[in-house]
Amino acid sequence: MKHNNLWAPWRIKYVQGLNEGNECFICHNVGNPQDDADNLVLWRSEKSIVILNRFPYNNGHLLIAPMRHIPDLDQATDEELTEMIKLVRESQKALRLTIKPHGFNVGMNFGRCSGAGLPDHLHIHIVPRWEGDTNFMKVCSDTDVISQSLIELLEQLKQVSIKHNLPRL
Ligand SMILES: [Zn+2]
């Protein structure tokens, strides 16, 4: 079976940035609601936050995290776990209504050796996929283009959220 990995060269800035400081960007975003637009925060629910990944593997890459700085599922409450899974469902709805993915990768990484960029704050990745996107992303690797599309996509996602009353938890 042929295996294609998404190639996301702009992520190198993120990976390099990880070695420059210990600030948890999820906690930073949680604590600064006045900066939600700049921080690409899509939704806040009672116990969780949903953020458009600034260094996406693919267009529309969302991160779902508990508000609390906890590293793994063992330390999450049942309420947090339930809310996060419901937010996976709602995130898929919002993405289908905006950018119409053909599929999704939904996953979690635990520990830096697993590829977790932020190993200390639990989060779920929602990565939209399209037929042929592994080829497309190699062409569309300009970080300025990505940044602009992030702001536009965040606005689209906010608009469908209002129209469709998302997230419904
Ligand atoms: Zn944190």
Residue 91 pLDDT exceeds 80: yes
What percent of the chain is predicted at pLDDT more than 90?
63
pLDDT reported for residue 13 = 56
Length of the chain: 169
pLDDT reported for residue 1 = 43
13 CA → ligand 1 middle, Å: 19
The C-alpha atoms of residue 33 and residue 120 are separated, in whole angstroms, by: 21
127 CA → ligand 1 middle, Å: 21
**pTM for the structure as a whole:** 0.83
For residue 49, the number of C-alpha atoms closer than 13 Å in the C-beta half-sphere is 22
Residue-wise pLDDT for 47-80, tens only, equals 999 999 988 888 899 999 999 999 999 999 999 9
Strands (E) located in 25-169: 41-44, 48-52, 62-66, 103-107, 124-129
Residue-wise pLDDT for 125-161, tens only, equals 999 998 888 755 544 455 555 666 899 999 999 999 9
24 CA → ligand 1 middle, Å: 5
112 CA → ligand 1 middle, Å: 15
pLDDT reported for residue 80 = 98
Residue-wise pLDDT for 146-156, tens only, equals 666 899 999 99
pLDDT category at 112 given cuts 50, 70, 90 is confident
pLDDT reported for residue 23 = 81
State mean pLDDT over 7-31. Answer: 70
